[in-house]
Amino acid sequence: MIRSVVRGNGAALPRRIMKNADFEGMVETSDEWIVQRTGIRQRHVAADDETTASLGEAAARAALDSAGLTPADIDLIVLATSTPNNTFPATAVEIQNRLGMHHGFAFDMQAVCSGFVYAVATADLYIRGGLAKRVLVIGSETFSRILDWNDRSTCVLFGDGAGAIVLEAEEGTGAIADRGVLAASLRSDGVHKDKLFVDGGPSTTGTVGHLRMEGREVFKHAVGMITDVIEATFGQAGITAGDLDWFVPHQANKRIIDASARKLGIAEEKVVVTVDLHGNTSAASVPLALSVAVADGRIKKGDLVLLEAMGGGFTWGAVLLRW
């Protein structure tokens, strides 16, 4: 059977780093509160010349370099983002043009923080369905542009950045020992749409709007939803938590990550945590965390890796792959 195998990965971050202490003159908060409640110590914030498209392009180029490929080798770009450069065209098409790619096809995927997990699962289906052989899967966000910088309950939580992987069709045996995407489960439930949303849009206010979140409500649902979808993914693949080499969760809050890992029985040393460095970068958080753990030598070829995310909608999902 065809497997979608990771051939390379990359990341890009805005130049400017904003530390927790930098908020202290802007809103009533403290480094201590932010670290204790979220685990976040700093985040990158995009300058005017850094956009979802430019960061996505840089991450894509880094992923292509690490794969030893050029844009000519790619036939599909799937960009996970909730902060596109424009309402339309898809920012994926802009990245395609920036890469000098005038063949194949490109589209955006909108599942907020779950976007990258949705995009990997979708790219896998395009590959296995025969519509594409090599796919650039990108998560790129500039949440700084949709934050209400006077709202301390949200503005301290998010950051900007991008990450990407190249998935390539490869013949596998169908066994769990294969490299590539092995299982995926995706969920959503719009009953929760008002708990985490942006209060503007083209068809309603005609404005971009700002992020609004009932943090406590999101927190309350997060661990149960995350662990349910992961257990469904384990069931599909016939594995248990003990078989994993690495758990790469969405980086929203260290307390949610710790509680999920504990409930699933995943050892602390197998959990990749980058929320301290990047904050919550929405659809970019999982590929950014992957890039850190690949660069420092933790994630190696052949390792069994579990990706997970949960976000606005709510949407949530998990992907199991062998690196």
CB of residue 113 to ligand ACO, shortest distance in Å = 3
What totals of helices (H) and strands (E) does the chain contain, helices first?
9, 13
Q: What are phi and psi of 257, to 5 degrees?
A: -60, -50
Instruction: Look up tokens 């020992």; give the residue.
Output: 177
CB of residue 286 to ligand ACO, shortest distance in Å = 12
Site membership for ligand ACO, residue 156 (CB under 6 A)? yes
Q: Which stretch in 55-63, 214-222, 232-240, 286-294 sits in contact with ligand ACO by CB under 6 A?
A: 214-222
CB of residue 151 to ligand ACO, shortest distance in Å = 8
Three-class SS of residue 169?
strand
Site membership for ligand ACO, residue 152 (CB under 6 A)? yes
Using the rule CB under 6 A, which residue among 69, 170, 176, 215 binds ligand ACO? 215
Using the rule CB under 6 A, which residue among 204, 216, 242, 269 binds ligand ACO? 216
Lay out the site mask for ligand ACO across 113-132 (x = CB under 6 A, - = otherwise).
Answer: x-------------------
Nearest to 161 by CA among 58, 255, 77: 58
Beta strand 315-322 with 304-311: parallel, antiparallel or unpaired? antiparallel
Q: Which stretch in 28-36, 41-49, 163-171, 179-187 sits in contact with ligand ACO by CB under 6 A?
A: 28-36
CB of residue 224 to ligand ACO, shortest distance in Å = 13
Residues 145 and 208: beta-carbon distance below 8 Å: yes
Catalytic-residue membership of 155: no
Residue whose CB is less far from ligand ACO, 116 or 323: 116
268 CB contacts (<8 Å, ≥6 apart)?
Answer: 258, 261
Residues in the chain: 323
Beta strand 246-249 with 304-311: parallel, antiparallel or unpaired? parallel
Written as six digits, the tokens of 69 are 């490929």
- Prior bond to 89 cis, omega within 30? yes
Site membership for ligand ACO, residue 196 (CB under 6 A)? yes
Catalytic-residue membership of 250: yes
Site membership for ligand ACO, residue 280 (CB under 6 A)? yes
> Catalytic pick from 9, 44, 85, 113?
113
Site membership for ligand ACO, residue 52 (CB under 6 A)? no
* Whole-angstrom distance, CA of residue 193 vs CA of residue 190: 5
CB of residue 40 to ligand ACO, shortest distance in Å = 9
Site membership for ligand ACO, residue 311 (CB under 6 A)? yes
CB count within 10 Å of CB 302 equals: 10
* Whole-angstrom distance, CA of residue 23 vs CA of residue 28: 8
Site membership for ligand ACO, residue 80 (CB under 6 A)? no
Catalytic-residue membership of 86: no
CA dist 91 → 171, 209, 214, 264 (Å) = 31, 18, 29, 36
SS3 content of the chain, % helix, strand, coil (to 5): 40, 25, 35
Using the rule CB under 6 A, which residue among 10, 139, 163, 312 binds ligand ACO? 312
CB of residue 78 to ligand ACO, shortest distance in Å = 18
- Prior bond to 234 cis, omega within 30? no
Residue whose CB is less far from ligand ACO, 76 or 257: 257
Instruction: Name the residues that contact ligand ACO, by CB under 6 A.
Output: 29, 33-34, 37-38, 112-113, 152-153, 156, 196, 215-216, 218-219, 222, 252-253, 256, 280, 282, 311-312
Active-site residues: which are they?
113, 250, 280
